[in-house]
Amino acid sequence: MSAAHLLGDNWQTFRWFDTAEKRDEAYSEMERQPPYYRKGDSPTVVLEKIDQDAA
């Protein structure tokens, strides 16, 4: 689904959490190297913490 030919170059997705603590836990998990990637490879994902009121 994240291939540019399917969603375009500027697609975004958001994930909302009930609390900042839950958001921070999920953020830490998403920052980790996925186990199925080869060493040296890294996902091309930009993570940014935002508040729902600011979106």
> Residue 30 has what pLDDT?
84
What residue segments make up the domains of the chain, in order of their start? 4-54
The CB-side HSE value for 29 (13 A sphere, CA atoms) comes to 6
Tens-digit pLDDT profile for residues 4-39 = 667 777 778 888 899 989 999 999 988 887 778 787
> Residue 2 has what pLDDT?
56
> Residue 55 has what pLDDT?
57
pTM score above 0.85: no
> Residue 24 has what pLDDT?
92
In sequence order, the 6+-apart residues with CB closer than 8 A to the CB of 14 are 50, 55
The count of other CB atoms within 10 Å of the CB of residue 27 is 15
> Residue 54 has what pLDDT?
63
